[in-house]
Amino acid sequence: MSASSATHAVARAAPPVRTGRVFVAFVARDLRVVFRKQPTAFLTRVLVEPLTRIFVFSYVLPSVSGRGQQPGGSSFSTVLAPGMLATSMLFAGVLGVAMPMIGELTYPKTVQDRLLTPAPVWAVGAARAVSGAVQALVSVLLVLPIVMFVHAPGQAPDIHVANWPLLAVVVLFGSVLSGVIGLWLGTAIQPAHVSALFGLVMMPAMMLGCVYYPWASLAAIPWLHMLVLLNPVMYLSEGLRAVLTPGAAHLPLWAVLLALVGGSAVVGALSLRSFRRAAMD
Amino acid sequence: MSEAVIAATGLRKTYRTRQGEREAVRSVTLQVRSGEFFGLLGPNGAGKSTTIGMLTTLVQPTGGSAHIAGFDVVRQSREVRRRISLVHQSNAVDRELSVRENLEFRGRYWGMGSRGARARADALLEQFGLGDRRDALFYQLSGGQLRRMLIARALVHHPEVLFLDEPTVGIDPHSRAHLWDVLRELHGRGQTILMTTHNLDEAERFCRRAAIIDAGQVLACDTVGALVARAGGRVTVSATYDGPVDLAALPAGSSAELRRADVREATVHVVTEKPEGLLGELIALGSATGRQLLDMTTSRPSLENAFLELTGRTYRA
């Protein structure tokens, strides 16, 4: 018997490769890179920005401008807390997907080692969005203690969860939304335009995402009140307000859920199409 | 004759660009049988990489069809990908993962359990002399080591067909010799291999059959011996003397080939179909001009000649 026939017998008898199994391997690869091989990079990306922002807004400003004055005061930290969690999640998910994706799609297209697997092409993109969602989820857990405990004396945010399942739904779909937005941006943007991604997309979205004030207060500026309805950060900020600080003004929950779930589905479909186009010649 | 493992018929790829349509591959028809080491030869831009892209499902063909182990590359692309491996010239290694993890995840992407994949990775790394480099990242490897790692990685899931796109480009002669050993062993074990190469010597060394493509079309597809024979069986005889010679001094009755020879100082290059008998004439030319023949070499007909004959240009042009 020749070695050749043995090789072929092995190859032909191999059981079909299940997509689910390959999908899990794709996600496992990403999570190993992010959490086991480059944990410092992940922690820096996720922690430093919220920590300094919360330190300035919840500790420095209230301390220098006298207690009780805006933007200090526990009412402000209560407004700020969900907004900070929302921006952290979106930052972690979007950047955690978009940056490596842009790199892997540029020559030499290193994503090819996954495109050549027996999984369908969409699975490669979808797995990357899922790993972005996991990063968003982890970031919310890491930033939560910061918003709870970093503040001027006596100005802790008033956070209490009335409905845990609802919190889980908002956080889950917020994470998925940030993952698919990351995939969409990472596949639609030319590498040369990466700096524009920060300047023109991320910064305005974060600043105008109803992070520092509730959406209802924007009624004073009607055009902005309407414009920010296009901003996903706003829905996540308001959604987290609804479930973490129910005492504060917030968007109705049905609107939040519609935007997070619907947005995940629509952007998810767009991002997979965009991934296919970017990945295949 | 065993069935064709790779079968392409009229395979075509047209890219739409802003300047209009660009035909990367016009028509490629070829068949490769199980266990063959097949060469795909052609100059830069001939369409070799696009052809490999279509055969490995990475590029969507515009027309024609191709089957790997009987599966259609477009409609059954996942079945095709299960059975093939591609070692790409761009070294598409997973840069975040170590050498061992690259192989381990390759196994897991093909459905192996993580323990099984790790064991397979370790065995292959040992076999490819990379056991002590398992924790290295890609930039810590030499060019030759990286190429060996990519071939080892390509073998993790026991592919039926191995595609090698320019496997020895950009590596030093020592590493190339090592890689050649690896390829020889693989072929000896019955691995079906389709290789593109710039190195015709490499093609002659390994491939029994080859296709020469240019401008997106197969110009010839045959055994290497038959391709070489197409060059007309001509050989080049080079004679070197101890000083300059002059063809004007040729005695009457000298052969026409010698009269047409290319003279450069002390060396004469004669292209002929019948090298026998030329030695006497060359010695005669020497004595007619008072020179002594020091050395004579005969270059056998090669794929290079065949390539020149078919495409009208030298291979590296």
Read off φ and ψ for residue B120, nearest 5 degrees.
-65, -40
Mean pLDDT over all residues of chain B?
87
Give CA–CA dist B200/B281, Å, rounded.
32
User: What is the pLDDT, as a whole number, of residue A13?
Assistant: 47
User: What is the pLDDT, as a whole number, of residue B232?
Assistant: 64
pLDDT of residue B281 exceeding 90, the answer is: no
Q: What fold does the segment set B4-226 form as a domain?
A: Rossmann fold (3.40.50)
Nearest-CA residue of chain A relative to B81? A118
- Cβ of B58 within 8 Å of Cβ of A115? The answer is yes
Q: Which of B79, B96, B135, B160 would best serve as a mutation to test chain A binding (most A beta carbons within 10 A)?
A: B96
Residue B66, token pair as written in the block? 């191709």
- Cβ of A28 within 8 Å of Cβ of B108? The answer is yes
User: What is the pLDDT, as a whole number, of residue A241?
Assistant: 94
- Report the share of chain B in percent with pLDDT over 90: 47
User: What is the pLDDT, as a whole number, of residue B278?
Assistant: 85
- Cβ of B88 within 8 Å of Cβ of A25? The answer is no
Residue B108 is nearest to which of A12, A25, A112, comparing CB atoms? A25
Three-class DSSP category at A261 = helix
User: What is the pLDDT, as a whole number, of residue B91?
Assistant: 67
Q: Within an 8 Å CB–CB cutoff, is residue B290 touching chain A?
A: no
Higher pLDDT, residue B225 or A119: A119
Residue A110 is nearest to which of B53, B58, B94, comparing CB atoms? B94
Residue range A160-180: average pLDDT? Answer: 94
Q: Which of B104, B109, B151, B166 would best serve as a mutation to test chain A binding (most A beta carbons within 10 A)?
A: B109
Per-residue pLDDT reduced to its tens digit, A14-46: 568 889 999 999 999 999 999 999 999 999 999
Q: Do the Cβ atoms of B280 and B202 come closer than 8 Å? A: no
Give the start-to-end residue ranges of the domains of chain B.
4-226, 235-300
pLDDT of residue A3 exceeding 60, the answer is: no
Cβ-based contacts of B53 with chain A (< 8 Å): 281
Q: Within an 8 Å CB–CB cutoff, is residue A9 touching chain B?
A: no
Residue among B165, B69, B150, B154 at smallest CA distance from B107: B154
Q: How would you class B252 by CB atoms within 10 Å of its CB: exposed for 0-12, middle for 13-18, buried for 19 or more?
A: exposed
Cβ-based contacts of B160 with chain A (< 8 Å): 7-8, 11-12
Mean pLDDT over all residues of chain A?
88
Distance (Å) of CA A134 to CA A28, A94, A96, A265, B14? 11, 11, 10, 17, 40
Q: Within an 8 Å CB–CB cutoff, is residue A11 touching chain B?
A: yes
- Cβ of A110 within 8 Å of Cβ of B95? The answer is yes
Measure the CA angle with vertex B22, ends B20 and B24; round to 5°.
170
pLDDT of residue A72 exceeding 60, the answer is: no
Higher pLDDT, residue B154 or B314: B154
Residue B194, token pair as written in the block? 């389709």
Residue among A194, A176, A157, A145 at smallest CA distance from A47: A145
Distance (Å) of CA A237 to CA A160, A199, A212, A249? 16, 21, 9, 11
Q: Quick one: pLDDT band at residue B317, thresholds 50, 70, 90?
A: very low
Least confident of A173-187, A197-211, B69-83: A197-211
Place of tokens 């060394």: B205
CA distance B191 to chain A (A): 6
The pairs formed by A36-41 with CB atoms below 8 angstroms and a separation of 24 or more are: A37/B96, A37/B97, A38/B96
Per-residue pLDDT reduced to its tens digit, B173-186: 888 888 888 899 99
Q: What fold does the segment set B235-300 form as a domain?
A: Alpha-Beta Plaits (3.30.70)
pLDDT of residue A5 exceeding 60, the answer is: no
User: What is the pLDDT, as a whole number, of residue A89?
Assistant: 95
In what order do the strands lie in the sheet containing B267-272? Answer: B262-264, B267-272, B235-241, B293-299
Three-class DSSP category at A160 = coil
Residue range B217-239: average pLDDT? Answer: 81
Residue A62 contacts by C-beta under 8 Å, 6 or more apart in sequence? A69, A71, A72, A73, A76, A151, A152, A155
In what order do the strands lie in the sheet containing B4-17? Answer: B71-72, B63-68, B4-17, B20-33, B217-223, B209-214, B37-41, B192-197, B161-165, B84-87
- Cβ of B92 within 8 Å of Cβ of A109? The answer is yes
Per-residue pLDDT reduced to its tens digit, B72-124: 999 999 999 999 999 987 767 898 999 999 999 999 999 999 999 999 999 99
pLDDT of residue A87 exceeding 90, the answer is: yes
pLDDT of residue B210 exceeding 90, the answer is: yes
- Cβ of A14 within 8 Å of Cβ of B53? The answer is no
- Cβ of B158 within 8 Å of Cβ of A10? The answer is yes
Per-residue pLDDT reduced to its tens digit, A125-137: 999 999 999 999 9
Q: Do the Cβ atoms of A25 and A128 come closer than 8 Å? A: no
CA distance B49 to chain A (A): 12
Q: Quick one: pLDDT band at residue A1, thresholds 50, 70, 90?
A: very low
Place of tokens 């001509």: B234
- Report the share of chain B in percent with pLDDT over 70: 94
Q: Do the Cβ atoms of B315 and B200 come closer than 8 Å? A: yes
Per-residue pLDDT reduced to its tens digit, B34-55: 999 999 998 878 899 899 999 9
Higher pLDDT, residue B101 or A153: B101
- Alpha carbon distance, N-terminus to C-terminus of chain B: 37
DSSP-derived letter for residue B56 is T
Three-class DSSP category at B171 = coil
- Cβ of A17 within 8 Å of Cβ of B97? The answer is no
Q: Which of residues 39-58 of B touch A (CB under 8 A)?
A: 53, 56-58
Task: Compute the residue count for chain A.
Answer: 281
Give CA–CA dist A271/B308, Å, rounded.
48
